Structure 1
Amino acid sequence: MFYPLAGVRHQSYLSDSKLFPVPTDRNLLIVLTIAGIGAPFLLSSLYLNSYLQPWLIWTALALGLNLATGWAGQLHLGYAATMAVGAYAAVHAARFGIPWEFALLIGGLAASLIGSLFAFAALRVKGLYLAIVTLAMQFIMDWVLNHSPVISGGSHASLQSPRFALLGQEIASGRGLYYVALGWCALVTVFMMNLQRTALGRALVAVREKDYAAAILGVNSFYYKLIAFSTSSFIGGIGGALLVATFFFLAAPEQFGVNVSIQVLAMIIVGGLGSIIGTYFGVALILLMPGIANEILANAAALFRLPLGNETLAHIPTAVYGALIVIFLLVEPLGLGKLYANIRDYFLVWPFDQFKK
């Protein structure tokens, strides 16, 4: 197979900690990158902008939440609130004539500021108490959006997003918007991949495992938790702004409700906490599987002439989708990322594992 490490030797810590210790991982990433760049030339605009583009945007958002919850171990139930802050701040900035490059940065900084302010109160507690505090952040943001027409236009109104543009060039085509989502997702992914190898990443993991033990070793747990919340909120703010500017094209309060926070949390739990590849899998399962299951079952009903009504066809995919999540978590409670890692580890020693006693 491709994964065995025959001929791969690490003679220093630097070589062992490089980004791709296994050459096949690097080659696989190159292939996926080429496939992502070439997708607009291979897929129709329907699949490109209805499936791939939102998958990339939500994956970047889920990676941001995974930084706080998966790496730092801080349960966050108010992630949609930071997305809302970034989205509305960026849209208002763009409506005032600020270029989108700076508007996105303003959205990220605004979300980071709000997230940090709540973190000062939230990080003095932990576990379920932390979850309640972040959930309160979500409810406060919901109330603000529904009762502040100056910000959101009111509970039943929406805020139109200006045309998205970068470097003075308007991007209106589906292909261009897809490449914006691809670029942002790639940037966040590279950041997260490198974070794992830095002192900051190791400190976050130490805080996640046992903050008291980390403090004994000289790691300021509150400081690193605050960095995790701030950085996670920054990524969520820019991601929320891109979601509005390139996919929804308008901002509405219901786009950032508590159900969205729970949905993003489900993505990283199903994919695997602290797993980058697992986040991609988790987002695909939560975001894309209901539509795919609906299409498959509708085609199967038409092919085999099954007497299924529209109401039945609308509910069966949801049941199948829920059953798939349960099955995946039963097979591997640590998520789809761990399931992939188990398969990868099997091929690392194949076929020599056949000789073990």
Structure 2
Amino acid sequence: MFYRLAGVHHTRYEQARALWPVPADRWQVLVIALLALAAPFYLSDLYLGSYMLPWLIWSAGALALTLLMGMAGQLHFGFAAVMAIGAYSSIHLARLGIPFELTLVGAGLVSAVIGSLFGAAALRVKGLYLVMATLAMQYLVDWVIINVPAISGGAQATLRTPAVSFLFVPLESLTARYYLALAWVALSAVFFLNVKRTSFGRALVAIRDKDFAAAVIGVDPFRYKLMAFFTSSFMGGVTGAILAFCYYRAVTPEQFSFNVSIQLVAMVLVGGLGSVVGGFLGAGFVLLIPIMLTNFVAGLAASGWLAVSSNLLSHLPLMIYGALIIGFLLFEPLGLAKIYDNIRKYFLVWPFRHARS
């Protein structure tokens, strides 16, 4: 069995600190990386631009929010506003002639500063009060974007992205934009995997579990929560810029509404809090499952297997989708990442049912 081990025996600290100590995990990551790199060669432009590209970008957004919600335990229901700040900032910076590499950094910094300001105000409250504080950020940013023409051009205006190049490669072709999104989500995943092993990550976990106990052992909750808001908002701002330049190519206020924030929270919860795999699985579930269900139900209706009215047919995929989310939260509250981990551990110890890896 390729996945089975006769025990994990670490004799060096380098082995114990490895990201993927199981050889099968390393092979799995390598195969996925090769498939992702070769995707433009075996996928059509329709699938690459309509499925793979948005999935990668929203996975990066889910990972940015997971850093805040999964590791630091801070609820955020206004993360679409953070991405909106990054998207609009990047367009205005690019129009000023700033190189796109610096534009991404600038968009991330603008989002981080504004996100940290709201985070600092929200750090003195918890739970539902923190949710209300982040909701206030969402609605305030939406109002400013809509009512300040210098930012968005007006409530009904569409702000087109200028032509830019990344590392001297023009972002005009779909392949170039796909590889930029792939590079950013890979960098976000590697960062998230490593930050969990640093003192910063361990401090966030301590604050998430019990903030006053963390303060007793010398961890400053206010400082580390503020750092979490800054880091998460920076990643969200860069993701918003990449979303604008690589996928939308033109931004409107409706693209970063409150519904988008809810979708991001759903990606994190359904995928699994504090998990890199969960970020990818949650983004894929929220983005792709409704499309697949719609096509499946439409196919059944067209073939005569499902005799329903057109009104019910338009709502049936969303009903099934909602039932799936409720089912996951009922039977596996830890999300899709936990289901994947259970399957992985089963193969690690198979056929010894009660063995532990």
Under a length normalisation based on structure 2, what TM-score does the superposition of the two structures give?
Answer: 0.96
Q: Residues 307-334 of structure 1: CA distance to partner in whole angstroms, max 9, x if unpaired?
A: 4454333211111111111122222011
Moved more, 16-25 or 114-123: 16-25
What does residue 338 of structure 2 align with?
338
* Contact 2:270/2:335 (<8 A) preserved: yes
Distance between the aligned counterparts of 2:113 and 2:260, measured in 1? 21
Question: What amino acid is the match of 2:288?
Answer: L
Distance between the aligned counterparts of 1:24 and 1:92, measured in 2? 46
Question: What amino acid is the match of 1:333?
Answer: P
Say whether 1:327 aligns with 2:318. no
What does residue 111 of structure 1 align with?
111
Distance between the aligned counterparts of 1:155 and 1:44, measured in 2? 35
What does residue 143 of structure 1 align with?
143
What does residue 131 of structure 2 align with?
131
What does residue 298 of structure 1 align with?
298
Moved more, 345-354 or 248-257: 345-354
What does residue 352 of structure 1 align with?
352
What does residue 231 of structure 2 align with?
231
In structure 2, do the counterparts of structure 1 residues 338 and 354 end up closer, same or farther at CA, with 3 Å as the change threshold? Answer: closer
**SS of equivalent to 1:155:** coil
Moved more, 61-70 or 336-345: 336-345
Q: Residues 193-242 of structure 1: CA distance to partner in whole angstroms, max 9, x if unpaired?
A: 11111111111111110011111111111111111100100010010111
Question: What amino acid is the match of 1:230?
Answer: F
What does residue 190 of structure 1 align with?
190
What does residue 283 of structure 1 align with?
283
Distance between the aligned counterparts of 2:272 and 2:31, measured in 1? 23
Question: What amino acid is the match of 1:170?
Answer: P
- The alpha-carbon deviation at position 5 of structure 1 amounts to 2.4
Question: What amino acid is the match of 1:178?
Answer: Y
In structure 2, do the counterparts of structure 1 residues 216 and 48 end up closer, same or farther at CA, with 3 Å as the change threshold? Answer: same
What does residue 211 of structure 1 align with?
211
Question: What amino acid is the match of 2:255?
Answer: Q
* Contact 1:267/1:282 (<8 A) preserved: yes
- The alpha-carbon deviation at position 306 of structure 1 amounts to 4.2
- The alpha-carbon deviation at position 169 of structure 1 amounts to 2.8
Structure 1 unaligned regions, length at least 5: none
What does residue 97 of structure 1 align with?
97
Distance between the aligned counterparts of 2:171 and 2:355, measured in 1? 57
Distance between the aligned counterparts of 2:310 and 2:319, measured in 1? 15
- The alpha-carbon deviation at position 147 of structure 1 amounts to 0.6
Residue identity (%): 53
Distance between the aligned counterparts of 1:107 and 1:300, measured in 2? 45
- The alpha-carbon deviation at position 245 of structure 1 amounts to 0.7
Distance between the aligned counterparts of 1:200 and 1:322, measured in 2? 36
Question: What amino acid is the match of 1:282?
Answer: G
- The alpha-carbon deviation at position 3 of structure 1 amounts to 2.5
- The alpha-carbon deviation at position 272 of structure 1 amounts to 0.6
In structure 2, do the counterparts of structure 1 residues 39 and 216 end up closer, same or farther at CA, with 3 Å as the change threshold? Answer: same
What are the within-5 Å matches in structure 2 for residues 142-161 of structure 1?
142-161=142-161
What does residue 246 of structure 2 align with?
246
What does residue 258 of structure 2 align with?
258
Moved more, 293-302 or 278-287: 293-302
* Contact 1:289/1:321 (<8 A) preserved: yes
Aligned residue pair count: 356
Question: What amino acid is the match of 2:351?
Answer: P
In structure 2, do the counterparts of structure 1 residues 233 and 353 end up closer, same or farther at CA, with 3 Å as the change threshold? Answer: same
Distance between the aligned counterparts of 2:332 and 2:338, measured in 1? 7
What does residue 24 of structure 1 align with?
24
**SS of equivalent to 1:352:** coil
Q: Residues 95-115 of structure 1: CA distance to partner in whole angstroms, max 9, x if unpaired?
A: 111121111111000000101
Distance between the aligned counterparts of 1:255 and 1:264, measured in 2? 13
What does residue 43 of structure 2 align with?
43
Distance between the aligned counterparts of 1:261 and 1:243, measured in 2? 15
In structure 2, do the counterparts of structure 1 residues 138 and 354 end up closer, same or farther at CA, with 3 Å as the change threshold? Answer: closer
* Contact 2:87/2:241 (<8 A) preserved: yes
Distance between the aligned counterparts of 1:167 and 1:212, measured in 2? 46
* Contact 2:86/2:111 (<8 A) preserved: yes
What does residue 83 of structure 2 align with?
83
**SS of equivalent to 2:18:** coil
- The alpha-carbon deviation at position 351 of structure 1 amounts to 0.7
Moved more, 306-315 or 163-172: 306-315
Distance between the aligned counterparts of 1:286 and 1:340, measured in 2? 17
Question: What amino acid is the match of 1:32?
Answer: I
**SS of equivalent to 2:240:** helix
Moved more, 224-233 or 174-183: 174-183
* Contact 1:271/1:337 (<8 A) preserved: yes
Structure 2 unaligned regions, length at least 5: none
- The alpha-carbon deviation at position 26 of structure 1 amounts to 1.1
Moved more, 191-200 or 234-243: 191-200
Distance between the aligned counterparts of 1:229 and 1:56, measured in 2? 22
- The alpha-carbon deviation at position 119 of structure 1 amounts to 1.4
* Contact 1:164/1:246 (<8 A) preserved: no
